[in-house]
């Protein structure tokens, strides 16, 4: 079973897989360059106190994205998958 959600709604400590990226051309290219393409696993590592921006683990790199940019990214979460652990600092 799969659950669909946008990246900005991904709870801290949980992971999902990218299914679609809808962004302006310049931002779409930046996200693609970061490796945010269909099938990429993304983990929400940290939310700022105000909730914007959030830090995501994408292909081994910790990337901060604003909510407005994260809302255009659609994810699919698999029900049987366990939540990922946060990266210790």
The number of folded domains in the chain is: 1
DSSP string, 39-60: T-EEEEEEE-TTS-SEEEEETT
Residue 28 lies in a domain: yes
pLDDT tens-digit series, residues 13-41:
999 999 999 999 999 999 999 899 999 99
- Owning domain of residue 56: 3-81
Residue 25 lies in a domain: yes
With a threshold of 0.85, does the pTM exceed it? no
Residue 86 lies in a domain: no
Residue 50 lies in a domain: yes
Q: Assess whether pLDDT exceeds 70 at residue 2.
A: yes
Calculate what percentage of the chain has a pLDDT beyond 90.
74
CATH number of the domain enclosing 22? 2.30.30.90
């Amino acid at each position: 079973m799969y659950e669909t959600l946008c990246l900005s709604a991904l709870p801290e400590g949980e992971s999902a897989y990218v299914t679609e990226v809808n962004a302006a051309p310049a931002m779409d290219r930046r996200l693609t360059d970061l490796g945010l393409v269909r099938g990429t696993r993304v983990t929400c590592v940290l939310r700022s106190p105000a909730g914007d921006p959030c830090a995501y683990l994408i292909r081994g790199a910790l990337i901060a994205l604003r909510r407005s940019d994260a809302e255009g990214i659609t994810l699919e979460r698999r029900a049987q998958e366990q939540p990922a652990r946060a990266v210790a600092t």
